[in-house]
Each structure stands twice: as structure tokens, then as C-alpha cells.
Structure 1
Amino acid sequence: MTNLPAIPFARSDPLEVPAAYRELREKEGIARVRTSVGDEVWLVTGYEQARSLFTDSRLGRSHPEPERAARVSNSVLLGGPQGEVATEKADHERLRKLFTPAFSARRMRRLAGHVGSLVEERLDHLAGLTPPADLHAELSFPLPVLVICRLLGVPYEDREYFSGLSAGMADLRDEAAGQAARAELSAYMAGLIERKRREPAEDVLSDLAGELDDDGKIAELAAGLLFAGHETTVNRIDYGVLLLLANPGQLALLRADPALAPAAVEEILRMAVPSLHGLPRYAHEDIEIDGRTIRRGEAVVLNPGPANRDERVYPDPDTFVIGRPPTDPHLAFGYGPRFCVGASLARVELEAVFGRLFQRFPGLSLAVPLAELPRNEGRLTQGFARLPVTW
């Protein structure tokens, strides 16, 4: 097919999801589209269809014939297939079992006090600056990095180095550069793991070193954890601030009652869409869904951002509403067996920020128009390079 829509669809407002996603969903449901690298895939933007396919064991991250797999982009992380069909399920279950204790809700609740103290420290620092200041550099970036460094056992003073490598890993256009960045970050983590074997501590890297024998595999996993543990949360803090500033009535509710922070965070997670890239899956056998047949080997792109704006599930889905009546849970962390292992950690960090930020700085506002905020173009996680604010 030659006249397929090309994804990702362009957007003029970073806080919105392009209407083209909804129009395509209404017209075709699960639709054939063309990716940025020219390959044909199935695009899933309906909430119920996405939730169903998240749990479908016939879809995987691996491909029966990897060399023939369609690609979403040139990203080394989410551009194409990963793993082996024969071992994917067992590998995934083993890793979930390994990581779940480290990121359990109970452990995260114990971490909440420490995270709250870190937020207070960052806000104290911000209060000592002369506005305007870059909230991204002073809060959104350092907080998740501080937390993930403590949790994993990574030196915080190395943050600029590994953040640069993370940015390289997130490159959507240059696969070779992304591979090189991932290899360098894995080598860095391998050095830390070697140190943990000699001097174990109470951190996740020490736990992994004690459970696995393959240091190369541990380093690769740890590099992925370090990347995911700060990149996505950084963006969600930035987007949460912007969504609240864009909805002053809802912000007034939160400012008056910081106990609403958990509800505000869930609405931020539902509505914040830093990236429209989507999550690739590959059919390991034929799948019938929504009147369509996904053939073995075909690619499916699950896109939680547009799915979280599905008007069939969320009334008035493009409106930011704290305390939105409970319906089905948003898909910001995925769903089912591949539900994000770091979801509890992200919630702890976001609730700590949004339970305090606007209490401490009730007059916080953007120092430049939203349209002038510089974005991280060409990156998997996108987001903003700076967030100038005043108060």
C-alpha cells in the first residue's frame, strides 16, 4: 500500500495529541500506517484494543525473522525487535522476578520520606535563585537522577556523563550512534558492578551482582534501568507543571489542598505525552482483533498517549481534571505482564513534587510562552530542553 498515513503525526501544541490519531481511530480502528523509516505497521490507538493487545501472549518484543522485521524508527531501544522468540517469555519472567522486589510498592513507600526530603532540598535551592530560573535544570532533571542513583548505587557526580549517554541512546535517527552510546553506558555500568562485587552495598546493582553471573548481561540491564529510571520521570515533571499552569482552575484546587497530589499525578500521567513514538510488538502467530487480521511477523505499534485520550473511555478526554471519576486505569505504564516495573517509583517522585512545588511557589509561572520552550527533537523521550519559570 502506498498511500498510508505516516506516523508520528505532527502536532503544533506539545500538550495536545494530534487530532489525526482520533480521526484515524474513528475511521479505521486498528489501522495500517507507515513509520518514519518507511515500514508498514499496525497502529493501535484505541484504549480497549491497546489494553487487550498489551496482555496478548501472541505478541512479543522479538520477531520470528528479525532481519525482516518492520521498524518504527532507528532507535536502538524501541525502534525494532529485541530478544529471541524461543526465550523471550522465560527471559522476561526471570527479569520481572529479579526486579520486582527492588521496585516493590512497599519499598517505594519506605523511600517516600527520602524523596520528599530531596524535593525540599531542591526547592530550597530554587528559592535562593533570582528568577527567572530553569525548572528543568533545578528540579525536573536532578530529582529523578538523585533518586535512581541512590536506588541503583550509581555515583550522582557522574550524572552529566551518563545523562549524555542516555541522550545518545534515545537518538531516533542514527542507530549506530545509539548503539555506541548504549555500549559505552553498559561498559560504565560493568565497571560499577565489578566494584559492587568487591564492596557490596544496599542497592540494586549489588543485588543484581549477587543474583547473576553474567556481568555483561547485568551491565546491559542496569544501563536500561538507569536510562528509564530518570528520562521518563524528568519529562513527566516538566509536563505536569505545564499542564497545571495551563489549567489554572485545577491548579487552584491542588494549591488549596496538596492532598490532591496523587489524583493530580494520575491525570498528569494520563495526559502527558512527551513522545508519540509508540511501543513496537511483533505477532508470533496470526491475531484476529477488531475486525482485522494481524499476520504472523507483522508489527504492531501500541500508542498509549492517544489511547489515554480515547473518548469512549474518558469523557471529555482532552480536558485536565484532577479527581476525574474512576474508570479504567490509564496506560501510561503499559498494562498486564509488561506493566512498568518502575511505576511505583515514578508515582512516589511525582507525588512528592506536586504535593510541594505549588505550595512553596504559589505564583510560579512560565517565563516564556509555551510555544517558545525548546524541545529535544529527534529523541525517543523528546520532552523539553529547558523550562524557564518565574515566581
Structure 2
Amino acid sequence: MTAAHPMDPSGAAVHADGDALREAGAACPVLLPGGVPGMIVSRHKELRDFLADPKVAKNARHFAAYQRGEIPAAWQLNAFALVNGMTTADGDDHRRLRGLATKAFTPRRVAAMRPWIEELTGVLLAALPGHRDADGVVDLRRHFAYPLPMGVICELLGVDVRHRDGLHQLTHTMVSTSSGAAEAMAAQAGIHAVLGQVVADRRAAPGEDLTSALIAARDDDLDGGAERLSDEELIGTLLLMIVAGHETTLNLITNAVRALCGHPEQLALVLAGEASWDAVVEETLRWDSPVANFPFRYPTTDIEVGGVTVPRGTPVLAGYVAAGRDPREYGPDADRFDITRPATRHLAFGHGAHYCLGAPLARLEAVITLRELYAAYPGLRLAVPDASLPPLAGFIGNSVSKLPVRLE
């Protein structure tokens, strides 16, 4: 087995690191923050099979080093390993929690949000010129790609406007592997405090939002208590929704605009009606996944992944960004952004029992925002060379931290 690859907490080269790990083996040993040993699966077929393997769990009771007391109480990735909610649940617990959350993402409810998303997009577009600096440059990530999905998920959850910017800053700190352990843990505590207030607000004044529905599941004796949420599960589920509901879509929109700026011939196809915005979104998800490497899954027994043994209880990263450019799946031009590429199944939203519930909503948001953005500014272009764009800190999310553009 190859030597363990230290995961770069800065996220300065997630694609280069991902490509190297993918070509080194189907499953590779890595060193996580704090020197914690783990592994990563980065090839498309092997990752797809791994994500759906019933011998692979999500709950930290299967995390061998944690159970042996070898993981520090303050660890940068504790929020991913130890949060008590749908993303770390298995079996019946996962089905129970997912069943409750699914009510917010039915096709009918997602479709009903289209007019609201279109209205918010219009408001943000109208405000964009006012955000230009003295040189006529606007940070599209900050002033457009961020407030749209944050507004949508908070509307869905019934989170008051006053909490939104604070939640964004806290969740960004929590998920960034470049944060120190104490900083990440403090951010997690801050999120729990804010979400506790959101729950108190919605309990006092219930609405048609998901938080009110989850509170009802928490407080009511449904099916003899079979569907009841614990307090920790309620907060953990809301935390998951906030993070997954805006961070990933923020990255998706940012990455799509960046890709189109770097591939004007592809943009021309869409503007000429020769390709769809849906194709842009799907190719962006494949070519520049919003999530680079997602923690964690734990084999419940030693398993083979592409001829490599992954020991029981190993924390395993899902290498989405590398799998999206796997030439074994997408051919020798896998590293080329091509919106005319024949439809193929990517893994950007996961696979198996934990497939992202919010995928239809994220797709809807991205298509609407890109369509309306380029209808208003078809000549939009980067204000700086692409190579100078600052990467998003951390090896979990994948994007740039700023997207300076000129509105033309």
C-alpha cells in the first residue's frame, strides 16, 4: 500500500491532489487533520459501489479510532463525525429521520418554490450593479451566488433573516478544514445556539416551514413515539439542512459561472439555444463538484475496494471531485468541460441510501439563477485571470472564495 497522503487543510489544490490520489489506487491511505489516519475512495465505479455497500456505515460508533479514545475531544472534523442527525444515521434511524425530512423536498413542494426563487433572483440581479467597486468589479459569489441559496433554504426552514449571515459565517468556519480545532468547535457551538433560538421561535409561532414540522415530530407522540426526534436529532437535522442547503449550491453556482467564463464557446452554445442550462449544471456537477471530499463512512468489516483492503472502522472520505474526472468512466477527455457530453451519471450528490435529498432543489436554483444571470449580462466576464482566483479554504468544499466579474 502506498504511503499515507496528508490531506491539505488549505484546499489549495483539491483537483491536483484528487487526480493524484485517484491514479494512485482505487482506495488510498490519507492523513486527516491532527494526523488521524484514514482512507479515500476516488475512482467513479469503486466510489459508487462503496457508497451503496451495506457493509459501510455512517455512524461514529463504527469509527474504530474514536471508539478507542484516540480522537481528540476538540478535532476539526468532529462536526462531521459526531453530529447526531440524518447524515450520521444508519438503518432504521436513517430511514426515520430521512422520512421526516423528505416532506420538505417532495416534487410538488420543490416545484412550488420556483416562483419565489425566480423573484429572489430578480431582486438580487437588480441590486448587482450597486455592488460594483470603483473599478466596476463585483464579487458575484458574495452578492449573488451566496444570498440566493441561503435565502431559499432559510425560507424552507423558517429561519429569520437576522440569523442568516451569522449562520453562513459559522457554517463556513465549521466545514473549513483550514480552521483550527478550537475555532471549528466554537463555530459548531455557535450554530447550535442559533438553531436552538430558531427552534424556540418556531415552537412559539409555528408556520408551514420544515422546522415547525420537525418540532411537531419532536413534540407529538406519533405512532407511539416511533417517529419522534430527540433534541439532538432535531438540531443535527437542521444543521445538516443549513450546511448542505446553501454551501453546496453556492459552490455549484460559483463553479458554473467560472467554467462558462473560461469556456466561452460552451456559453455560446447555450445562448444560441443549442444546449440547455440543465446541461451546464450537470456538467459542472461532474467536472467541478461542489464537494471535493466528504467525511465519513466506516466499513463494518474489512472490505475490498478495487483490490485494496479497507480495514474495519477506518474513516473514509468520498472523493467526489476526483471521481468526476475519472477517465475510466468519462473517457480520455474527462478533464474537459463539455456541456454537449452524452448524459452520464455523476456522483456529485452521492449515491445509495444517503443520496442528497435536496438535489432537485439545488438543480432548480442553479438553472434559474444561471439562466437569469446571463439573460441580464450575456457578456459577463472574469475581472482577473482565472489562475489568480483564491481557492475556497479546506479540502471538503470545492470552489473559489471570490468571483470578481464585470457585468457586461
State whether TM-score is above 0.5: yes
Alignment partner, residue 218 of structure 2: 212
Q: Does structure 2 conserve the Cα–Cα contact (< 8 Å) formed by 1:70 and 1:298?
A: no
Q: Is it true that 1:178 corresponds to 2:184 in the alignment?
A: yes
Indicate conservation of the 8 Å contact 1:60/1:284, yes or no.
yes
On the 8 A contact 1:69/1:298 being kept in 2, the answer is: no
CA distance in structure 1 between the aligned counterparts of 2:109 and 2:306, rounded to whole angstroms? 40
Maintained 8 Å contact 2:206/2:212: yes
CA spacing shift, 1:180–1:376, aligned 2, 3 Å: same
Q: TM-score, normalised by structure 1?
A: 0.89
Partner of 1:58: 55
CA drift of 1:135 comes to 1.0
Cα offset, 1:279, TM superposition: 2.9
Q: Is the 8 A contact 1:145 1:156 kept in 2?
A: no
2:336 — aligned with what? 319
CA deviations on 1:28-62 (whole Å, 9 max, x unpaired) are: 32223333432333321111100001011111122
Alpha-carbon distance change, 2 to 318 in structure 1, aligned in 2, over 3 angstroms: closer
Structure 2 segments unaligned to the other structure (5+ residues): 220-229
Give, in angstroms, the shift of residue 160 of structure 1. 1.9
Q: Which residue number corresponds to residue 7 of structure 1?
A: 7
CA distance in 2, matches of 1:179, 1:274: 23
Specify the SS of the correspondent of 2:322: helix
Judged with a 3 Å threshold, the aligned counterparts in structure 2 of structure 1 residues 305 and 40 are, in CA distance, closer, same or farther, namely same
Q: Which amino acid aligns with 1:182?
A: Q
Aligned-pair CA distance for 1:26:
3.8
CA 1:379/1:184 → structure 2, altered by over 3 Å: closer, same or farther?
farther
Q: Is 1:191 paired with 2:192?
A: no
Residue 150 of structure 1: aligned partner: 155
Q: Distance in 1 between matches of 2:169 and 2:312?
A: 38
Equivalent residues of 2:291, 2:320 under 8 A apart: no
Q: Secondary structure of the equivalent of 1:356?
A: helix
CA distance in structure 2 between the aligned counterparts of 1:111 and 1:175, rounded to whole angstroms: 38
Between stretches 43-52 and 280-289, larger displacement belongs to 280-289
Against the structure 1 CA distance between its residues 70 and 107, is the aligned structure 2 distance closer, same or farther, given a 3 Å change threshold? farther
Give, in angstroms, the shift of residue 289 of structure 1: 3.2
Separation of aligned partners in 2, 1:109 and 1:61: 31
> How far apart, CA to CA, are the structure 2 residues paired with 1:42 and 1:204?
35
Q: 1 or 2, which has the higher helix percentage?
A: 2
CA distance in 2, matches of 1:382, 1:307: 13
1:104, 1:226 → 2: CA distance?
A: 18
* Correspondence 1:14-33 to 2 at 5 A: 17-18=15-16, 21-33=18-30
In the alignment, the residues of structure 1 paired with residue 163 and residue 169 of structure 2 have an alpha-carbon distance, to the nearest angstrom, of 10
How does 1:320-339 map onto structure 2 within 5 Å?
320-327=337-344, 329-339=345-355
Paired residues of 1:61 and 1:81 also in contact (CA < 8 A) = no
What do you get for the CA RMSD once the two structures are aligned? 2.8
Give the whole-Å Cα distance in 2 for the aligned partners of 1:140 and 1:148. 13
Q: Match for residue 104 of structure 2? A: 102
Matches of 1:13 and 1:169 in 2, distance apart? 20
Q: Distance in 2 between matches of 1:43 and 1:110?
A: 39
Aligned pair count? 385
Q: Deviations over 1:82-133 (max 9, x none)?
A: 669x973222111110111201233112211211121122112224555311
Q: Deviations 1:316-350 (Å, cap 9, x if unpaired)? A: 111111132023x1100100100011111111110
| SS of alignment partner, residue 37 of structure 1 | helix
Match of 2:293, SS state, is coil
Matched, 1:371 2:387: yes
Indicate the larger mover: 334-343 or 117-126.
117-126
TM superposition shift of 1:370: 1.9
User: For the Cα contact (< 8 Å) 2:26–2:308, is it kept in 1?
Assistant: no
Q: What secondary structure does 1:301 align onto?
A: strand
- What secondary structure, in the 3-state scheme, does the structure 1 residue paired with 2:30 have? strand
Q: TM-score, normalised by structure 2?
A: 0.85
- Whole-angstrom distance in 2 between the partners of 1:299 and 1:147: 32
- Show the counterpart of 1:261: 277
- Aligned partner of 1:255: which letter? L
**Structure 2 residue 321 is matched with structure 1 residue 305:** yes
Q: 2-side partners of 1:33 and 1:385: how far apart?
A: 25
Distance 2:32 2:235 in 1: 31
Give the 3 Å change call, closer, same or farther, for CA 385–22 of structure 1 in structure 2. Answer: closer
* Corresponding residue to 1:121 among 96, 119, 123: 123
* TM-superposed deviation, 1:307: 0.6
Could you list the per-position Cα deviations for residues 165-189 of structure 1 after superposition, in whole angstroms to 9, with x for gaps in the alignment?
Answer: 2123224242332222222222222
Q: How is 1:41-56 mapped onto 2 (pairs within 5 angstroms)? A: 41-56=38-53
Q: Which residue of 1 aligns with 2:225?
A: none
The amino acid of 1:288's aligned partner reads: E
Report the Cα distance in structure 1 between the residues aligned to 2:255 and 2:245, rounded to whole angstroms: 17
SS in 2 for 1:281: strand
